[in-house]
Amino acid sequence: MKNMGGMLLTTTPFSEIVMGNTALVRAMVEAGTRVVTSYPGSPTPEIATAIQSIPPDKRPFYFEFSTNEKVAAEVAFGASINGHLATVFFKSVGLNVAADSFVQFSLMHCLGGLVVVLGDDPGANSSQNEQDNRHYARMSYTPVLEPANPTEVYEYYLEAANLARATAKAIILRLTTHVCHAKERVAFKGWSPPAAYDDQPRFDPTRGSYIPITARVFPPKREALAALGRVERWVDERGLHRVIGSGGERGLITSGMVALSAREVLAEVPETLEKPAILKLAMPYPLPVRAIAEFLAAHREVKILEELDDNLEKEIKALAYDQGLTTRIIGKSELDDWVGEYTPDKVRAILHRTWPDLVPVPRVATTAMPVPLRPAQMCPGCGHRSAFHAIKQALPADGAITVADIGCHTLGFQEPYRMGEVLLCMGASTGIGSGLSLFNHSRPVVAFLGDSTFFHAGLPGIVNALFNRHNLTLVLMENGTTAMTGHQEHAASGRNANGPVEAIPVRRVLEGLGVRNIFEVDTYRQKELTELMRQALAQDGFSVVIARHPCMLLFTRNQRRKSGYQARHVHIDQGTCARIHTCVQTFACPSFSRAADGSVSVNPELCIGDGSCIQTCPTGAIARAGQEGGTP
């Protein structure tokens, strides 16, 4: 959309085709949200893209990318207890990072209201797990609204904001990947920008128990539990839970995008048969006892159709027991019912198993011609590729243990690099590597870490390695941006979400911490990097190699925008090429193509002419287009 920023600030009612993430931002504007914070992570980065389409001076709220999800949550909380409606958004596993602070929110009087927007990822499309964050809701007594499509994202955020303000509580708005990214025409209400904002700091320590220690924990805990009842009634009275169809003997309880899959599959049931009614829950926690009890009582058997874990199922079974209802409740039965996204295909298979008379056997794939898989790759020219290629040559064959972290460089675990062979989460590599180094006198340990992750959660592991004198080498893969999620700024970028700021260079931080052995080189200088890596590995104790090169996807994109940009490529001199295949098979830039006869060529659609491959050819057959073969 050409003028997304203008669209988001439209004052008159309008409709537009938007994705869920964009609809959310319009709702933030209409609701009078004053502070929004985040750390980038899929499926939520487009929320920030929409926010940043509004120039900072026109934004009706403050926005920042914080250094991690925990800090983002804390900034939003701080704003909220000062009287501002605040929102924090991040991906599913971001809640693990934020959890230490997040679990306290329900004990606090969040004066301005606080909305926690989660981008959960059933199907693990871009995450290290598919954790079901409804567990956190239950653990922390935090209500969850769960929209199914962009229209509901918009509507439910407005509900969440009102509810958060009215109850002075934190409310979760739980999105999932295909709710964030779904697109449809959404009708928006008008918006009147206030003439002035009441920005007076209103924090008042007497308003709530803001110091939850020992016995002072109990009153706010009772209040949090009591508030759940008020929220349950509020959502019920607002009519947000919906019964679709009347059904006969059969019913189905579901929520979120799964409800759409269910409606799609049940639409295929012939008119001659009785379709089950659907109870679509807007809020899976706390559950609406009245609505569920009525629905159960009205049906002989009810299927709980629930993506990921069996939260609804267990609670609804308990509720039926308590209410003395004898409705047959059908929950999960096979392990795969806990696994993966509930797409229409998956729901069709589950409902066929549940009611074979209603839902016929889904069509299974017939004999298909196998197509080679296409795993995600580091981009052509990526500095990480040069780094892995060079570092591998410094490691003893099969002797080293390499530890991955989160970032584009995670992809190094794949063939042909096999660099970074264990992965937990953001910033974990140095800690894991430290443990791997204990009692280990034969296998050098190398941990990888990105620069955004360095600030996010990498620092404690580094300080620990220094403090406890661990023996490992950390390779800091510095590309100057948060590349994997779409090039957001970080503390070393020299910019934040609102404009230029003084950078915090990673090297200065490391020096300040007292890292004695710091080596630094541009990754395109592969021989030098190999040599520095050897030197780092020879050190006793903790050493850091800063392997730096700008993200070439971002660099090339910026170059293309400049006038007079000329596309550059390398080519292969077929007379010089000895078909050793280092370029295509070991360095493995995707720009190289390999023909059935073993000859190698350069795909000009992919090659950016960076030339990082030229030095990898043993016979010097690669050269920039227009030049003869170079010196290897």
Which residues contact another protein (rule: CB under 8 A)? 1-2, 17, 42, 125-126, 149, 177-178, 181-185, 257, 260-261, 263-264, 267, 343-345, 348, 362-363, 365, 368-369, 371-380, 408, 411, 414-416, 484-486, 553, 581, 584-585, 588, 590, 592-594, 596, 598, 603-606
- Residue 256 Cβ vs another protein, minimum distance, rounded to whole Å: 11
Pair type for strands 600-602 and 473-478: unpaired
Burial class from Cβ neighbours inside 10 Å (0-12, 13-18, 19+) for residue 376 reads exposed
Tokens of 20: 């869920």
Spatial CB neighbours of 118, under 8 Å, sequence gap ≥ 6: 89, 90, 91, 92, 94, 95, 133, 172, 173, 174, 175
- Residue 582 Cβ vs another protein, minimum distance, rounded to whole Å: 12
Question: Closer CB to another protein, residue 227 or residue 257?
Answer: 257
How far apart (Å, rounded) are the C-alpha atoms in residues 100 and 105? 10
- Residue 308 Cβ vs another protein, minimum distance, rounded to whole Å: 17
Question: Closer CB to another protein, residue 71 or residue 282?
Answer: 282
- Residue 281 Cβ vs another protein, minimum distance, rounded to whole Å: 16
Q: Interior CA angle at 606 toward 600 and 607, to 5°?
A: 70
- Residue 38 Cβ vs another protein, minimum distance, rounded to whole Å: 16
Q: What is the 3-state secondary structure (H, E, C) of 214-283?
A: HHHHHHHHHHHHHHHHHHHHHHHHCCCCEEECCCCCEEEEEECHHHHHHHHHHCCCCCCCCCCEEEEECC
Contact 178, 340 (CB under 8 A): no
Contact 550, 381 (CB under 8 A): no
How far apart (Å, rounded) are the C-alpha atoms in residues 449 and 441? 23
Query: What is the torsion angle, in degrees rounded to the nearest 10, for the CA atoms of residue 332, residue 141, residue 171 and residue 307?
Result: -10
- Residue 336 Cβ vs another protein, minimum distance, rounded to whole Å: 16
- Residue 506 Cβ vs another protein, minimum distance, rounded to whole Å: 22
Question: Closer CB to another protein, residue 255 or residue 485?
Answer: 485
- Residue 369 Cβ vs another protein, minimum distance, rounded to whole Å: 4
Question: Closer CB to another protein, residue 135 or residue 594?
Answer: 594
Gap between the terminal Cα atoms of the chain: 46
How many Cβ atoms sit within 10 Å of the Cβ of residue 577? 20
Spatial CB neighbours of 557, under 8 Å, sequence gap ≥ 6: none
Contact 244, 263 (CB under 8 A): yes
Question: Closer CB to another protein, residue 348 or residue 571?
Answer: 348
- Residue 479 Cβ vs another protein, minimum distance, rounded to whole Å: 12
Question: Closer CB to another protein, residue 82 or residue 177?
Answer: 177
Question: Closer CB to another protein, residue 5 or residue 604?
Answer: 604
- Residue 419 Cβ vs another protein, minimum distance, rounded to whole Å: 15
Query: What is the torsion angle, in degrees rounded to the nearest 10, for the CA atoms of residue 71, residue 77, residue 78 and residue 81?
Result: -170
Give the residue from 494, 612, 610, 495 showing the smallest Cα distance to 559. 610
Question: Closer CB to another protein, residue 327 or residue 343?
Answer: 343
DSSP states of 77-121: HHHHHTT--EEEEEETTHHHHHHHHHTTGGGS--TT-EEEEEEE-
Max Cα distance, the chain (Å): 85
- Residue 447 Cβ vs another protein, minimum distance, rounded to whole Å: 21
Contact 150, 114 (CB under 8 A): no
- Residue 249 Cβ vs another protein, minimum distance, rounded to whole Å: 23
Q: What is the 3-state secondary structure (H, E, C) of 314-369?
A: HHHHHHHHHHCCCCEEECCCCHHHHCCCCCHHHHHHHHHHHCCCCCCCCCCCCCCC
